[in-house]
Amino acid sequence: MKYVAAAIICLSLLAPTAMADEFTAELKLRGPQDVPILRKLDISVDSIRNNIASAYLNDKEERALEAAGIDVKRTLDEAFWDLDKNGLAKGYHNPETCEEALKAWAQEHSEVCKLIQIGTSVKGRAIWALKISTNAQVHDFKPMVRFCGAHHGNEIASSETVLMFTKYILDNYETDERIGNIVKNVEMWLIPMVNPDGVAKRSRYNANYKDLNRNYGYRFRPGWKAGTPYSEPETRAFRDHAANIPFSLSLSFHCSGDLVNYVWNYTTVRCPDQDLIFGLSEGYASFNEYEVTQGADWYAINGDTNDWAYGCSGCLDSTIEIANPSYSGINKVFERNKEPMLYYCEQVQKGICGVVTNEEGVPLKAFVEAIPPRWPTFSHPEGGDFHRVLLPGTYKLRVWAPGHAEKIIENITVSDGAATRVDVTLEKSAGTYHALQLCEIVVPRNSSNTTHGPHVLGPPDSVFCSLGDGGHLVVDLSDEFPTGTGAKITIHDEPSADENAESYQLLTSKSQDGPWEKIGQGTGTATIEVAKVERYLKVADKSKEFKRTTTPGLDLESITVVRRSAVQTKGFQELHQK
C-alpha cells in the first residue's frame, strides 16, 4: 500500500489490529522536519500528503512516535471488518487455497498454462507463477507481461484481483476472440502472492518483519524496514524469475486507493521513457478514472518493485493502487481493472521486436538499447528474442552481447500498430566483455544525483552513472563469461562529469549476493590486472566526503574485461606468489 484514500474510515478505539501488535495508522506531522524522525524510528510509511503520513505500525512504534510529539490515529482496511476463524479476511484466498486454485487451473487448461514454483518464503511456503499462453510449455516468440499481487500481505485485494484476472482469461480465451488473440500473441505471467507469509498472518511484512517493496536493489537505501538489498527470499525469487524472462510491461497491484503510480519512485527526475509510461498510465486510467502520478511526485521511496524492474531489467513496471474492500466489494474492484489489464496485454505487442543471434544462428542473450530514449531491454536467453514497447517514431538500436561486437541499426520506423521486426546478427569479438546487466545500485545520501544505473552497461558510449560518495553497484558479466581466469579490467571514468578522479575498489563473486572477494582498486580511468574474475563484479566508490552535486562519486561510463588465457593466468598467478 503506497496510497490511502482521503475518505478512509477510522476506527481508532474499536478496531482490532491487523494482527497482534500491528496496525495501519495516520500520523499528523508538524512539517518536513518530522520526516527524519520517521526514518530514524524505522517507521514503514506509505505516503505523505498535506503533512499526513499513512503508515504501518506496532505498539512499540506508536509509543515512540507519541513520545516524539507525533499524533497517531489508528485505521483499519475494510477487508478486515469480517474475519474467519483463522483471523483472515472472509472470502479471500489464503496461501493454501491460492495454491489449490492455481494447480487446478494449470491442470484443467494444460494446453495454455504452465505453473512453476519460483521460490520459497521465509516460512517455507511456495511462491507460484502461472504462465498463460499458447504452447505454454516452451518458449515462443512473444512479448512478455507480468501481473503480481500481495507484496504486502495485508493488501489482500491485490492478490485476489490477479487471481480473478487469471480465471477470467482461462474462462474466456476459447470463446472470446479478443482474449483468444491475447493468449495466442502474448506470454502472460501471473504471480498473485509474492508474500504468502504476510497473507497468512495478515501482515504488511514478510516473516522476517521486512517490507518487500523496499527490499529491491535499484537505488536502495536503508531504513523503512527495508533490510539490505534482496535480503529476503521472496524478493530474490521474484528477481531471479525475471532474470530469465525479459518482461516488457508489468503491473504490481497494491492497496488502498484508486491510483496509477509510474516510475520513478526514488526521484522526481523524469525517467527516459516518460512520454511512453505516462501515456500507458493515462491509457490505464481512461477505463476507470484512476488518478495518475509519478511515484516521487507525491511521496519518494527507495528499493521498490517499479524502480528495480525498470532500472535493472528494462521492464516498464507500474503500481496500481486499488481498494481493499470486504469480499462483497471485490467484484467491483476487479471490474474496474479488468479492461485496463487487457489494454496492457495489447499495448505490449507494439514497438520493435526481433531475434539476436550469432553468425551461426545461435540465439544470444543481448543488451538491446533503443535510441531514443537510450534505455535497454534484453533478449531472451533461450530464444534470443526481444520486445521493446515504443511510441510511434523513428529509432535506432544499439545491440551487444558478451563476446560479440556491438552493432548499430539506424532508421527504424515504428507505427501505432504491430511491432516492427528487426532481427540482428552479431559478430564474435573473442576475449572482450562488458557489463551485460545491472543487478544492484546503492547510492547513499546523494538525492541530487540525476544519473542512471544502466548507463554503465555495454561498451563505452559517453554516458555514465555516478555512484555517489560511498555508493556501489553490482553488474552481471553474463553466464557466458569464462570465470576463474585472470583478466585486465578497465574502469572508464567519464572525465567531463567531474574535475576530480575518484577512487574505488573492485570485488568479484560467483553470486550477485556475494560473498565478495576484493581483487583490485584504482583511481579514475584505469586498467587493473587481476588474477581471477567471476561472473559478478562490484564497483565501490571510496570517496570520503559528501558532495551535493548531480554527479557525485565515481562517474562510471563502462567496464571492459579482457580475459587472459588459462596459460597466461597461471603465469600471472605464479608471478604474484613469488
Nearest CA to 44 among 67, 27, 30?
A: 27
What is the three-class DSSP state of 495? Answer: coil
Instruction: Pull the grid cell for residue 475.
Output: 553488474
Secondary structure class of 360 (helix, strand, coil): coil
All residues at 6 or more sequence positions from 135 whose CB lies less than 8 Å from its CB, including other chains: none
CB-based burial, 184-206: b 16+ in 10 Å, e otherwise: ebbbbbbbbbbbbbbbbbbbbbb
Residue with cell 569464462: 482
Of 570 and 101, the structure prediction assigns the larger pLDDT to 101
The mean per-residue pLDDT over the stretch 32-52 comes to 84
* Averaged pLDDT for residues 6-26: 48
pLDDT at 552: 84
- Whole-number Å distance between alpha carbons of 520 and 507: 7
Express each pLDDT in 277-315 by its tens digit.
Answer: 999 999 999 999 999 999 999 888 999 999 999 999 999
Which pLDDT score is estimated for 33? Answer: 87
Start-to-end CA distance of the chain, whole Å, equals 59
Provide the pLDDT for residue 350: 98
DSSP letter (8 states) at residue 92? S
Lowest mean pLDDT, pick from 9-13, 61-65, 191-195, 226-230: 9-13
Model pLDDT, residue 4: 38
Q: Is the pLDDT of residue 576 over 60?
A: no
Cα 292 versus chain centre, distance: 19
- Close Cβ partners of 577 (under 8 Å, ≥ 6 residues apart): none
pLDDT tens per residue, range 504-561:
999 999 999 999 999 999 999 999 999 999 999 999 999 766 666 788 889 999 999 9
Q: For residue 222, is pLDDT > 80?
A: yes
Q: Can you tell me the mean pLDDT for 24-45?
A: 87
- What are 296's three cell numbers? 516521487
Angle, helices 274-285 vs 330-347, to 10°: value is: 140
Q: Map grid coordinates 521492464 to a residue.
A: 315
CB 345 within 8 Å of CB 147: no
Specify the DSSP element, H or E, that contains 538. Answer: strand 536-541
pLDDT tens, residue by residue, 158-180: 999 999 999 999 999 999 999 99
Q: According to the model, what pLDDT value does residue 496 have?
A: 65
Sign (positive/negative) of CA torsion 255, 257, 259, 263? negative
pLDDT for 447: 58
Count of beta carbons in the 10 Å neighbourhood of residue 484: 13
Which bin fits 344, alpha (ψ -120 to 50), beta or left (φ > 0)? alpha
Q: Residue 300, Cβ neighbours under 10 Å: how many? A: 15
Is the confidence at residue 9, as pLDDT, over 50? Answer: no
The per-residue pLDDT for 430 is: 77
- pLDDT of 370-421, one tens digit each? 999 999 999 999 999 999 999 999 999 999 999 999 999 999 999 999 999 9
* Cβ atoms 21, 82 nearer than 8 A: no
Residue type, 468: G
To the nearest whole number, what is the mean pLDDT of the chain? 90
Q: What integer is the mean pLDDT of 23-50?
A: 85
325-382 pLDDT, tens digit each = 999 999 999 999 999 999 999 999 999 999 999 999 999 999 999 999 999 999 999 9
What is the reported pLDDT for 565?
A: 63
**Cell reading at 522:** 584504482
pLDDT, position 54 = 86
Cell of 128: 507460484
Q: How many CB atoms lie within 10 A of CB 170?
A: 19
**HSE-up of residue 43 (Cα within 13 Å, Cβ side):** 33
Decide which of 553 and 318 is more confident: 318
**C-alpha closest to that of 402 among 440, 360, 370, 366:** 366
Residue whose C-alpha is closest to residue 78's, from 315, 389, 322:
322
Residue 572 has pLDDT above 60, yes or no: no
CB-neighbour burial class of residue 86 (10 A; exposed 0-12, middle 13-18, buried 19+): exposed
Cα dihedral across residues 562, 310, 550, 301: positive or negative? negative
Asked whether the predicted pLDDT for residue 20 surpasses 70, the reply is: no
* Band of residue 445 on the pLDDT scale cut at 50, 70, 90: low
Angstrom distance (rounded) from CA 376 to CA 369: 4
* Cβ proximity of 90 and 196 under 8 Å: no
The cell for 230 is: 534482496
pLDDT at residue number 413: 98
Identify the CA nearest to 240 among candidates 325, 118, 332, 324.
118
**Rounded CA separation 483/536 (Å):** 10
**Cα pseudo-dihedral 368, 213, 317, 251, rounded to 10:** 140
Q: How distant, in Å, are the alpha carbons of 70, 95, 103, 350 from that of 107?
A: 53, 18, 6, 31
C-alpha separations of 320 from 152, 250, 255, 412 in Å? 13, 10, 8, 32
Q: Which residue from 281, 277, 471, 309 is spatially nearest to 376, judged by alpha carbons? A: 309
Neighbours of 471 (CB within 10 A): 25
Q: Give me the pLDDT at residue 10, please.
A: 34
Length of the chain measured in residues: 578
